[in-house]
């Protein structure tokens, strides 16, 4: 029973069909050799780690394949061997994906418990709050079995009544036909209700899967932001996540000569860290914004901030091997301060470069 529960749980974690589980031979018009296909499945299963993760299944399949190569298997057994090989590939790939999952087990358990309670709620059932894991799964199975039994008893009862009424013919045929019709409508209504319940369950599962996918992406982004913050250290005055999913790296540690858009010597390490941060989000839209303090004229500062943004954008493009002009730039001069310009510290914070990252949704 524990194995059944674990399998059900792990199936909830996979949102899409992985590449190793897709059948690539469905559209083929050429004859397929079951033995060659079975050998192909063995090779795929080995690459997915079946020998180490599923030793019993691997050894059994390998022995049957050797027997098949010696022509000691019947045609029906050979077809069954092909199906067994495909199952071995799927199981091996599934276990590999689970082992490579980076989420903590506590998160998996929480998602498992939520899924059990959502399923119970869809059927009008409730799992006791203190139950979790296998106990909650066992309780849900018990509740579903009881509910199914009650529905079956109700349906059987209606069918028995139907047969009895059909037996009572004679002078009351018309009345009995009317009652029988009503009972049949009731049975049909029950079946329709069961179908609608199953349909709602499917829709709810699709919505839950989409929500979990969005949550997973959000958690991965938050983890990346934490690592970027630690990597940039004091060079980044702030790392911001906006409500629309963008990430803003406010970098005040880049050093430019006064009135110049050229980076001062010794900035390569920080530029490499900025490029590494951007590289965490392949395909993301990148905007580099330049900012200055309010020293000097606004017009000159606007031009200077744009030139500095272009310098940083070009450095990112070279380090990430991006086409020239793929990183957008903007210069805001002194118009968007993050600290008062009345102190040296505040002016230093305002002389910054903002790297705005908008990851693919």
343 token code pair: 């102190």
- Mean pLDDT value across residues 313-332: 94
pTM: 0.43
pLDDT at 161: 85
Judge whether residue 285 has pLDDT over 90.
Answer: yes
CA distances from residue 207 to 61, 198, 203, 231 in whole angstroms, order as listed: 39, 14, 6, 36
Q: Look at residues 5, 93, 112 and name the one whose alpha carbon lies nearest to residue 41.
A: 93
Residue 16's pLDDT is 40
Q: How far apart (Å, rounded) are the C-alpha atoms in residues 159 and 181?
A: 12
pLDDT(175) > 90: no
Question: Helix 268-279 and helix 298-320: axis angle, to 10°?
Answer: 70
pLDDT of residue 24: 44
Q: Identify which has the larger pLDDT, 134 or 40.
A: 40
Question: What pLDDT does 315 receive?
Answer: 93
- Domain segments of the chain as ranges: 2-12+29-100, 105-224, 242-358
What share of the chain has pLDDT > 90, as a percent?
A: 32
Q: What is the pLDDT of residue 26?
A: 46
Angstrom distance (rounded) from CA 302 to CA 305: 5
Domain 242-358 in CATH: superfamily?
OmpA-like domain (3.30.1330.60)
């Amino acid at each position: 029973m524990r194995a059944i529960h674990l399998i059900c749980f792990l199936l909830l974690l996979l949102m899409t069909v992985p590449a190793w589980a897709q059948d690539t031979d469905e559209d083929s018009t050429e004859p397929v050799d079951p033995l060659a296909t079975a050998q192909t499945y063995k090779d795929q299963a080995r690459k997915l780690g079946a020998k180490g993760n599923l030793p019993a299944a691997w050894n059994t399949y390998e022995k049957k394949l050797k027997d098949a190569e010696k022509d000691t298997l019947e045609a029906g057994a050979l077809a069954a061997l092909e199906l067994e090989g495909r199952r071995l590939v799927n199981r091996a790939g599934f276990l590999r994906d689970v082992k490579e999952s980076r989420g903590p087990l506590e998160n998996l358990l929480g998602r498992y418990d939520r899924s059990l309670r959502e399923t119970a709620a869809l059927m009008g059932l409730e799992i006791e709050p203190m139950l979790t894991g296998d106990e909650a799964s066992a309780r849900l199975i018990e509740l579903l079995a009881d509910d199914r039994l009650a529905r079956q008893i109700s349906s059987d009862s209606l069918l028995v009544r139907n047969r009895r009424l059909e037996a009572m013919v004679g002078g009351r045929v018309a009345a009995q036909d009317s009652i029988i019709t009503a009972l049949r409508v009731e049975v049909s209504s029950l079946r329709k209700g069961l179908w609608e319940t199953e349909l709602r369950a499917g829709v709810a599962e699709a919505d839950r899967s989409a929500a979990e996918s969005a949550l997973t992406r959000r958690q991965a982004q938050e983890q990346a932001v934490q690592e970027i913050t630690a990597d940039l250290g004091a060079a980044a005055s702030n790392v911001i996540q906006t409500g629309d999913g963008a990430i803003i790296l406010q970098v005040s540690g880049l050093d430019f000569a006064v009135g110049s858009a050229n980076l001062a010597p010794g900035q390569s390490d920080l530029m490499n860290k900025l490029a590494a941060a951007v590289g965490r989000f392949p395909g993301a839209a990148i905007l580099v914004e330049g900012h200055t303090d309010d020293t000097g004229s606004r017009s000159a500062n606007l031009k200077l901030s744009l030139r500095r943004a272009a310098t940083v954008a070009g450095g990112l493009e070279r380090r990430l091997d991006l086409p020239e002009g793929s990183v957008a730039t903007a210069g805001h001069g002194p118009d968007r301060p993050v600290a008062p310009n009345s102190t040296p510290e505040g002016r230093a914070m305002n002389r910054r470069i903002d790297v705005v990252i908008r990851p693919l949704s």
